[in-house]
Structure 1
């Protein structure tokens, strides 16, 4: 009888190319840390390229013209996927400890999504806040079915590996709750032996330095994003030292002078969180390091920390794409083989529970 891992972690990241500081501190650094936790038996990290398609084709003219709604990316989807995977490896994701794969390389995800869609009430999806926010005032012709239903695909991503721990940010918590509801409903309807463990959010409360939301350097009310039209709002892991110094020096702060941990000072609050996450220190105590500093000297120290930490990562990611693409593809291929083995096993059990006729070959 096949042995099933008890503690399984699953998380994913959309292929946006070389990742930025917010991706690293909010997610990927945590994934790397999980590789050292012996109580975790399996770790699956996926570049979720199917999720990135939710609005890709909306707004395209029927004659194949340019998108009306979206700016065309310079990189192809394949290049974006490879660059994201390269950055994950450069950040410290170890193929010997974690299964790194591309979502579209595992067909069971989308097949499982269909089964899960059939038992997910529309009323559950109607409650998803992110769909309402992304749709906004756009007409139905400007939004896709995938934008509405992708939380079900996210549930399939998780349940395919029977993951019971999912490290997600606050913006994905509601989707994880939906995955839990779907797992519980499937178990109740089809699986008395509880085929799916109920996935739970992985908590980092024991690590006071972890901060899931890295905010824009020019507007601390918004998350850091590469799509922000103000390019100095975001630090990319492939930025060179001079660019990092310029972005930090021009980061919005206030005129109060003293460096103090204070949520009422959101811009400084954000920079202190970044410093604490880079240093691995308690963010509530981090301001004590700068009691004698003004804003200029604090920003200079922060720039130095960032350069020391992320520039080697960026250099390695660039090198992987430029000179080691065969190695990168081999890692993803091996990861897909391992992920397929597990996901196909889950899908087979799922079909048996539902009562789908097996092929007699």
Structure 2
């Protein structure tokens, strides 16, 4: 469900920002008229905001506690980075981290239209290849993408998740939202310098044995309709993410997430067989319930596995 705010009052704008972001004080740096328009869409635990400020807003804010991606469309944003002791300016087309989650932040937004995409920092750890998922938090160590190409990929990922928010009349199905969150977190890790570090390759190869696969498959089968990431599967199998991936590649010639996708395709197939269009079932609703947010990709994967379109299975 979309949230929308529109105001010509500085006090009302400050109150809204305090209620929906963090405690902050704002001011009008140009003394001109105030114009604020903000919308928010949500995909699972990812919030997707678009802000349009028709004045120069100076701000001093408490720590946000979230990964905050900022993409500028028009105008510019001047941000002070206390951990780096620098002031940086984001121009149209640029994307970056607005503030580290644990630090206060300040700056000036110069009559800008921009987007803010936020999610919990622990999502980075969930998708990172660390030895003990959940116990070694991954942090970003820079606020700019490592390359122009990385910035483009990040902008595309944000746009894809944002489009997903508009494709559902109601709340995005949990498994679809989870996949979108993991996808976004993975792209963020690839775009920014971070503390994720590879662990011992020798130990990973030693752990890549059939028992690892058996534990992982049992875990996935027991939680097939739940929000699980590759780091969760690795933790359940008592190995690193890299060892898990090596084990699946060595013994099943696939990846853990590809195997999970096949399991969910099987579940969707069984539900399609047991349902009827006359009973109100649709391919889209069944696909979404099993975590497939893109109907076209679901149909392609389904056809590849079962040799026919999912609609044909439902009709039969």
* TM-score, normalisation: structure 1: 0.21
* TM-score, normalisation: structure 2: 0.23
